[in-house]
Amino acid sequence: MKLLDPILEFHQEIQAIRRDIHAHPELCFEEFRTAELVAKKLEEWGIPIIQGLAGTGVVGVIKRGNSPKALGLRADMDALPMQEINQFSHTSQSAGKMHACGHDGHTAMLLGAARYLSQAKDFDGTVYLIFQPAEEGGGGARRMIEEGLFQQCPMDAVFGMHNWPGLAVGEFGVKTGGMMASSNEFEVTVRGKGAHAAQPQKGIDPVMIAVQIAQSWQTIISRNVNPLEPAVLSLTQIHSGSATNVIPDDAKLIGTVRTFSTEVLDLIESRMEKIARSTASAFDAEIEFEFKRNYPPLINHENETQFAIEVMRDLVGKARVDAEVEATMGAEDFAYMLQAKPGCYVFLGNGDGQHRSFGHGLGPCNLHNPSYDFNDDLLPIGASYWVRLAQAYLPCN
């Protein structure tokens, strides 16, 4: 591995920051202490900052030379509402809050890169260091964009990174195209007409209609979606009725849809609505159709992904970069940034959990597990990757 010497030299300092953030986790849009710590460090290293985007967002701006080229490097800062069971010295000091997704490490890795780049002169252009709030369900990335991130910080491309348990330390995983799924929820109400169960001819039975819709929906994945495209439609709840001798007024169908492409998602949503409305209409019932798109699919752009792969290969060696990593059904709000700008998101191996300090919980070191801890060995690897990426993207002529 070709890690950068200065980054190795201040490893202890960055590790102390990572453990401090781990001990003081903060939830979506409440990252006040974390954002203040980030801002303070950036200012200490002479980096101008922009504050207030999405509330607690912080952007560091490092400009060198005259090139108009710019890139963004993004880390997320928020923790999860869950109880940590680790007992080591940097365990969470806030009951019911925990850095169980490693965003403490993501923030620290970007700070490590910031510390290096604040001294570096060997690039020409602007690096935006984006510290984002509320990745865990809050859509902090979307809010930063809505509040003018890319107007205030015009950039040609944006890059993101997530630690990945199970992948060995020093290994990267990435792929072009869909790498993480979109997450979406639906709630469809069939409005019929209640009646005595012994006099069905006087009502419009929403239960029978809901069952027909549920069955017809299952043809969408099998008959409409391209078999080579992954997609899931799971109807997880059906609610209706309260008595054996009453035909109810309405029935609800609730569930989730996951896809890796917006086109497939558009297709599924429109087929679901058409089937629901036309089935209901055939039986003189009405439909209330709610389809909520949470995070979009995370789609890596081809050119930027190839670019990032070259940087990773140069850093850790070709054998340690899986350029066709298996996609995951998990979702990630960096997807919004990749909808607005070209870029690439990568997984960085967090190892198998052996790194955890004495006193860790007995559970696996998996994301969103109460025994999880970010692996500090990643700090110089992730920070070196960020620096190499910036140097390669903004070369001096």
Tell me the window of 100-108, 166-174, 370-378, 389-397 that interacts with Zn ion (CB under 5 A): 100-108
- Interaction pattern, residues 50-89, with Zn ion; x per rule: CB under 5 A: ----------------------------------------
Percentages helix, strand, coil for the chain (3-state, rounded to 5) are 35, 25, 40
Paired residues of 235 in beta bridges: 255
Task: Round to whole Å and give the CA distance between 106 and 109.
Answer: 5
Side-chain half-sphere CA neighbours of 377 within 13 A: 18
Tell me the window of 7-15, 96-104, 257-265, 386-394 that interacts with Zn ion (CB under 5 A): 96-104
Q: Which is nearer to Zn ion, 307 or 345 (CB)?
A: 345
Q: Could you tell me the smallest distance in angstroms from the CB atom of residue 291 to Zn ion?
A: 24
Does residue 101 touch Zn ion according to CB under 5 A?
A: yes
Q: Could you tell me the smallest distance in angstroms from the CB atom of residue 341 to Zn ion?
A: 20
Tell me the window of 98-106, 289-297, 298-306, 310-318 that interacts with Zn ion (CB under 5 A): 98-106
Q: Which is nearer to Zn ion, 217 or 372 (CB)?
A: 372
Does residue 311 touch Zn ion according to CB under 5 A?
A: no
Does residue 21 touch Zn ion according to CB under 5 A?
A: no
Q: Which is nearer to Zn ion, 101 or 157 (CB)?
A: 101
49-51 and 58-64: which strand pairing?
antiparallel
Tell me the window of 35-43, 101-109, 146-154, 223-231 that interacts with Zn ion (CB under 5 A): 101-109
Q: Could you tell me the smallest distance in angstroms from the CB atom of residue 202 to Zn ion?
A: 51
Q: Could you tell me the smallest distance in angstroms from the CB atom of residue 106 to Zn ion?
A: 8
Does residue 348 touch Zn ion according to CB under 5 A?
A: no
Q: Could you tell me the smallest distance in angstroms from the CB atom of residue 163 to Zn ion?
A: 8
Q: What are the CA-CA distances from residue 238 to residues 78, 255, 280 (Å)?
A: 34, 9, 16
Does residue 331 touch Zn ion according to CB under 5 A?
A: no
- Single-letter code of the amino acid located at 313: R
Q: Could you tell me the smallest distance in angstroms from the CB atom of residue 332 to Zn ion?
A: 7
Tell me the window of 94-102, 185-193, 238-246, 298-306 that interacts with Zn ion (CB under 5 A): 94-102
Task: Round to whole Å and give the CA distance between 105 and 376.
Answer: 7
- φ, ψ at 308 (rounded to 5°): -65, -40
Q: Which is nearer to Zn ion, 307 or 374 (CB)?
A: 374
For residues 85, 90, 94 and 98, what is the CA-based torsion angle, rounded to 10 degrees? -60
Task: Round to whole Å and give the CA distance between 109 and 41.
Answer: 13
Tokens read off for 207: 């239960």
Q: What are the CA-CA distances from residue 390 to residues 16, 125, 138, 393 (Å)?
A: 25, 9, 28, 5
Does residue 109 touch Zn ion according to CB under 5 A?
A: no
Q: Which is nearer to Zn ion, 101 or 149 (CB)?
A: 101
- φ, ψ at 161 (rounded to 5°): -155, 145
Q: Could you tell me the smallest distance in angstroms from the CB atom of residue 293 to Zn ion?
A: 19
Q: Could you tell me the smallest distance in angstroms from the CB atom of residue 302 to Zn ion?
A: 24
Does residue 179 touch Zn ion according to CB under 5 A?
A: no
Q: What are the CA-CA distances from residue 280 to residues 12, 210, 227, 251 (Å)?
A: 64, 8, 28, 11
The closest of 67, 223, 72 to 153, measured between CA atoms, is: 72
Q: Could you tell me the smallest distance in angstroms from the CB atom of residue 160 to Zn ion?
A: 10
Does residue 141 touch Zn ion according to CB under 5 A?
A: no
Size of the site for Zn ion (CB under 5 A): 1
Phi/psi region, residue 55 (left: phi>0; alpha: psi -120 to 50; beta: rest), is left
Which residue's Cβ has the minimum distance to Zn ion?
A: 101
Helix residue ranges, H only, the chain: 5-9, 11-23, 32-44, 103-119, 140-146, 149-152, 206-219, 262-282, 302-316, 334-340, 378-393
Could you list the residues that contact Zn ion (CB under 5 A)?
101
